[in-house]
Amino acid sequence: MNAESRLAWPYLVGLMLLVFIPSVAAIALAFTDFTGIGSPTFSGFDNFKRLAGDGAFWRSLGNSGIYVAIAVPLRLVAAVAIALVLHRRSVGVGTARAVAFAPSVVPDAAWALLWLWLLNPLYGPLAIAFGVDFLTEPWAARLAIPLMGAFQIGEAFVIALAARSTIPRPLYEAAAIEGASPWFQLRRITLPMMAPVLAILVLRDIVVAVQVNFVPALIVTEGGPRYATTYLPLYIYRTAFRYFRFGYASTLSIALFVITGVVVVIQYRLARRWRLL
């Protein structure tokens, strides 16, 4: 066994213990009725039949789709815009880059509590400034939760920054000689050259966006108002740990995984057709 194989063993063991075994257990529980007390009872496909007619599941799935539709473009535009502004080395750029990355290292619970104060209808600065009650209006809550995630773009920002730095400078010099405007350079040089990386960021962010809405929805809005922010991860959590229906919660988790995988595959095929990947 060479050195590289030995170094891979801790990762493989961790992958087995933290991913593979729990995944197999979740799949097995999906075919049972299990409340956490006693032994699981095999129920066949009853949980999947229940899933098809579960209105709360479809509502939470729709809420998750709305969140992804708002959050992914918002996060991508913010990451790319900041990367394009800060890609050149100059005085103060290092500090600005650190500030752009800083929200991503804040624990999710602390970040949610900060926004709970900002959005508070009585004394929250954002609620007072805009005159909107973000915690009781469904449409406002649907916008507020994605807005919280739009600041935690550190990883996407770093990747976009690296992609921008790989574009050869002579391309811009040649465009400038020809009299190309900065807007023309952005449309015809920068974005096309960064397109493969941006496509990967979109695929990645769809997977991330489906998961990261759990903490803010739980802490800031508790799934409300009127179930407007009850996303699928939050619904799974409540099904398992409030109603103790672990078998059905496992079925919901599998459904979330499959739906996310289908969306990613579709986008991947579209990106290949457009020759972005």
Q: What is the pLDDT of residue 209?
A: 87
Q: Is 249 helix (H, G, I), strand (E, B) or coil?
A: helix
DSSP lists the bridge partners of residue 240 as none
Q: Which secondary structure element, helix H or strand E, spans residue 42, and what is its range?
A: strand 41-42
DSSP one-letter code for 275: T
Q: Is 189 helix (H, G, I), strand (E, B) or coil?
A: helix
Neighbours of 127 (CB within 10 A): 20
Ramachandran category for residue 89: left, alpha or beta (phi over 0 → left; psi -120 to 50 → alpha): beta
Torsion 91-96-98-99 (CA) sign: positive
Q: What does the radius of gyration of the chain's CA atoms come to, in whole angstroms? A: 22
d(CA 31, CA 43): 6
Q: Which secondary structure element, helix H or strand E, spans residue 41, and what is its range?
A: strand 41-42
Residues contacting residue 177 through CB under 8 Å, at least 6 positions apart: none
Q: Measuring CA to CA, which residue among 26, 59, 38 is closest to residue 240?
A: 26
Tokens 């949610």 sit on residue: 112
**Can you list the alpha helix ranges (DSSP code H) found in 86-153?**
93-101, 108-118, 125-130, 138-149
CA atoms within 13 A on the CB side of 243: 12
Rounded-to-10 torsion of CA 109, 57, 244, 24: -90
DSSP one-letter code for 208: H
**Can you list the alpha helix ranges (DSSP code H) found in the chain?**
3-15, 21-29, 46-52, 55-85, 93-101, 108-118, 125-130, 138-149, 154-165, 169-177, 182-185, 191-212, 214-216, 232-241, 246-273
d(CA 232, CA 128): 30
The tens-digit pLDDT sequence of the chain (277 residues) is 566 677 788 888 888 888 888 889 889 999 999 888 888 899 989 999 999 999 999 999 999 999 999 999 999 999 999 999 998 877 678 899 999 999 999 999 999 999 999 999 888 899 999 888 898 899 999 999 999 988 999 899 999 999 998 898 888 888 888 888 889 999 899 999 998 888 888 888 988 888 889 999 999 999 989 999 999 999 999 999 999 999 999 999 999 989 888 888 888 888 777 776 6
CB 121 within 8 A of CB 127: yes
Q: Looking at domain 64-273, does it have CATH number 1.10.3720.10?
A: yes
Q: What is the pLDDT of residue 64?
A: 94
Residue 62 tokens read as: 């729709």
Q: Domain boundaries in the chain?
A: 64-273
